[in-house]
Structures are given as C-alpha cells and as structure tokens.
Amino acid sequence: MSNIKNETGPAMPARGSLGRRGFMAGAAAAGAGAVLGGRPFGGAARAAAHGAHGLDGVLADAVAKNDVPFAVAMWGDAAGVRWTGTAGDRAEGAPATLDTMFRIYSMTKAVGSTAAMILIDRGKLDVDTPVESILPQFADMQVLDGFDGDTPVLRAPRSKATIRHLTTHTSGLVYDVWNAEMQKFMQVTKHPSAVSGQKQGLMTPMVFDPGARWDYGIGIDWLGQVVEAVDGRRIDAFCQAEIFDKLGMTDTVFEVDGDRAARLCTVYLRGEDGNFAPFELAPPSRPEFYGMGHALYSTAPDYMRFLRMFLNRGQLDGQRVLSEGAVDAMLANHIGDIRIGRMTTYLPPISADVDLFPGTDKTHSFAFLRVEQDVPGMRGAGSQGWAGVCNTHYWFDPARDVAGLIMTQSLPFVEPPFMRVYAAYERAVYAAKG
C-alpha cells in the first residue's frame, strides 16, 4: 500500500494487560449490498468493480484474512448512494447490517464544527473571535512548558486561541495518545481527560501557543461549549434540531438505548496473538457535558447523508443546513502554510502511528483533514476526511462527486492491516465510479 501508510510501535499487549482507565482515556483521542438510491450502474466494468474482485471482494477478503473483525461500507455521490456492503459479524452470532450502530468517536468532530459554522453562517459567531470572549474560563488556560522533575512548568500563552484554532487543531490543546508531554502530564497529575465527561477534563494545558502548529486534540470539545454559550441550547439539542432532523439522520444520537442498543456492535482489540477479542468501550453516558470530539453514535447510512450534504453544497433533499458560501468557506484550507505531518503514537494498543498519504501536502479545513494534491487512483485535491478511533473512516471528494465510508470497531486505530483494506476499498470505489 503506497498511499496510506501506518506503522506500529511496540507490540500490542494481550487483552486485559492495559488498565481500563488508561484505555478509556486514550481511546477518546481519537457482504453483497444493494443500491439504496439514485441512478443505477451500467456496464460490465462497473458490475465487475462491485463484484467478487471489486468492492464486495475487498470487504469479504478483509474479514477472511482477519484484517478487520467485520465491516460496513458504502459510497455515493450528490444524487444518492451507489453501493453498500457488509461482511462479518458485528457481534457474536449477529451479522453486520447496514443499520449497525457504531461508536463513531472522532467522526463527531465534523458535526461539532458544522454546528459552529451554522452560527457563523447566521452572523452569530466569527472564526477569529477569541475563545475567552465567549467562555471566560478559557482565559485561565496555560501552556505546558516542560517539567521540573514531575512538576509541570506552566506559563501564560503568547497568543489568544480563536474559534479557528479550536476547530483546526492549532490551539495547542492535544491528546496524550500522540504527544509525550501531555501523556506525562496526565500521568503525574491524574487529571481527568475530556472523554471522562467531566468539565474539569477540558482544563488540560496547551502544549504550544495557539497558531504555532497543528497537533490533534480536544479543541472541538471546547467548540461545543462555544456553540452552547452563543446559541443557548445544549449541544445535543442544537445538533438534533439544526443537523440531524434536517438531514434525516434518525440513528445519530448521544445516548444509545432500545432498538439502537440491540444494533450496537462490539469493539474488538487485537492481541499479541494477532486475533481480535471483545473489549468493552464507550463514551460516558449522560456526562456533565457532551464532548463534540467523541460523543456520538451513528450508522453508515446516517453519516453518508451528512457527507452528501456537503457534496450538495449545504443541503440535502430540499433541507438546507448551510449556505453555499458557508460550505465553500468551511472546506477551504484554514491553516495557511502549516502542514499536517506524522502523528507518532505513545499508546500503541490504542493507535498505530498515523501517516496518511505520505508525500502529499495535507492541511485542515474548518472541519476536516484536506489533501492539497490528487492521490493517484484515489481521492483528488481538495478532498476532505477523517475517522473515529475504533476505525470508522470517511472521505468526500467535491471535485469528483464522491463520498465514501468504511466502518468497523477495532483497535489499534489505523493499524497496517486495516489501512491496507482502506486503501484497497478507496481504489475500488474510484474504479467503480469510472
């Protein structure tokens, strides 16, 4: 696999050798299908691209080779869904289905950024507004400037964090999974993480001054608090009324119960023996605050509707979420000359090193990782995407009118076997599109 590369660090521990508290903190950071709508495919080439040696084959082979425990995937365009597929069992004795419920973790982030862009679109918020002017407690945030032994050395930031910094991961607020300083801070202070659902978990220090560089973190958890403060509704109520209801995302929720709980898949952790075993993991239920970095559950069809809204420049099926101008602004590069580089893991059971499309310039839009050049055989320049830590992945390519999803529930994040499958799947999507 030449275009998406990830390499693991030390060997994965066997199931149960990592404490649940540490695992939960780190994990936040991060079959044949039917055409559901739109015009039908035509031609033998497209049929082959979807058959045993194409998209269906990618999923079936992935499960057979133990690259993934199961998979649900689909791709579509502005007009509709073009292909769907499932393979394997989402839980013991329960085959994966299109309506499988997933813990989507960091796929939540794009929803949080969209919530903020809705307020910007309505003139209620500005991308360059200092965070502390809306949330006064943010003025207390400091920068971690190393350690004196095990005592953190803190100083005032030299620049003020803005809404843009929060949503583009340039605020200095980072996850400990891919940052050694933050990992040490969390270990020596026993500070709660943002995934704990405690508001105190938001108060971890920055590790660099806002705007200095890109480093993945909890900025969008803070962004959700901004939306609440500006709009007056809780973030779950805002998202329901302004995004989910409008887009017909009936299975995207902050709490999973009833029929949805019955459709919820199992999380699997790969052990030292190379096999997957169940691992209990979920965002906290009914927390002090819903973190827009990690809190949502959803399905592949629901999230595809969210992606297709962007391909349709802010609306879907006659329901407008964002103006066309807001979509254009949202998908532009928001970090200037800063580039996204390799994310080195410090918690290998949770994540491998993240090195997406090495050799391709990567920036960040208001909500997504963005590639600045065409990737041969795959997504084109200006494409947007990201993922959830349990290997739920998506992208959309506005220039080529493509959106794709491939979702499982496995750890480590972006381990090489999964990423080989993802690359093969993306290539098969573009081959099917023709």
Q: Report the catalytic residues.
A: 106, 109, 216
Residue 88 CA, distance from chain mean position: 23
Q: Which of 280, 284, 331 has its CA nearest to residue 310? A: 331
Q: Cα angle vertex 97, ends 92, 101, to 5°?
A: 80
Alpha-carbon distance of 377 to 53, in angstroms, equals 17
Alpha-carbon distance of 277 to 428, in angstroms, equals 29
> Please, how many CA atoms are within 13 Å of residue 308, restricted to the half-sphere of its CB?
25
Q: Which of 43, 100, 117, 61 has its CA nearest to residue 323? A: 117
Q: Cα angle vertex 415, ends 412, 417, to 5°?
A: 125
- Contact yes or no for 397/403 (Cβ under 8 A): yes
Q: Which of 311, 92, 115 has its CA nearest to residue 229? A: 115
- Contact yes or no for 216/174 (Cβ under 8 A): yes
Alpha-carbon distance of 403 to 83, in angstroms, equals 11
